[in-house]
Amino acid sequence: MTKKTILRISIIINIILATVFVVSLPGAMGALVFEYVEQDTIRPDTLRKYLERENYGTVAALSRPIRGGAEVSDTDADYYKLGEYAELLFLKEVYAKAGNADSAKACEDRISEIRKEMPEYGSVLDKIELSVENAVKE
């Protein structure tokens, strides 16, 4: 094998390796970028789908990350808040029945706060309230 052939082969290998490097670099760098407080990964269209189906329990369960302090983008915040509203209504009934008056009151305060913050969703909030009322078996 002549030196020229060796050089040509090594240049080809270098080009391939350089291409692999350039293609892999953004992925590797992207994989290292993160927030210390995780951003929730549920897609808002999933929440929207369950809201449209009026499966408010699923919306409540999917939105729970917001109550754990997960970061949510501004555009999705309303959907998460509707879920938070549903979950707090659900839990308020449990706290009231279990005799945790303070926790029930804290839920109630946050529920009123959300209602004030989201006047445009009044009818949805009413339906969520109705869903909890109907869910209670007593």
Partner 1 sequence: MKCINCGADVRLTDKVCPYCGRVIKENAGYRADMEYYKKDSARTKKKVREILSENIPIVISAIILVVLLIADGVLLYVEENAFYFRESAAQRESEKKYETYSAAIQDYLDAGDYAGFSAFEEYHNIAEWEPPYDDLNVLCDMAKEYSSLVSAVEEVTMFGPDAKWYRPESDIRDCRSAIWYFNFQFEHNLSKIDEDPYKDYIYDMKAKADTIMEVYLGLDEAGRDEYFSSSSNKQEAYLEEVLLHD
Site string for partner 1, 13-52 (x = CB under 8 A): xx--xx-xx--xx-xx--xx-x-xxx-x------------
Stretch that binds partner 1, among 73-81, 97-105, 114-122 (CB under 8 A): 97-105
Q: Determine which residue in the list 45, 74, 120, 137 makes contact with partner 1, applying CB under 8 A.
A: 137
Long-range contacts from 92-100, C-beta under 8 angstroms, 24+ separation: 93/132, 93/136
**Residue number, 27 or 119, with CB nearest to partner 1:** 27
**Of residues 50, 77, 54, 53, the one with CA closest to residue 130:** 54
* CB neighbour burial string for 23-55, b if at least 16 within 10 angstroms, e if fewer: eeeeeeeeeeeeeeeeebebebeebeebbeeee
Whole-number Å distance between alpha carbons of 7 and 87: 67
Residues that bind partner 1 (CB under 8 A): 3, 6-7, 10-11, 13-14, 17-18, 20-21, 24-25, 27-28, 31-32, 34, 36-38, 40, 53-58, 60-61, 64-65, 67-70, 86-87, 90-91, 93-95, 97-98, 100, 102-103, 106, 127-128, 130-132, 134-138
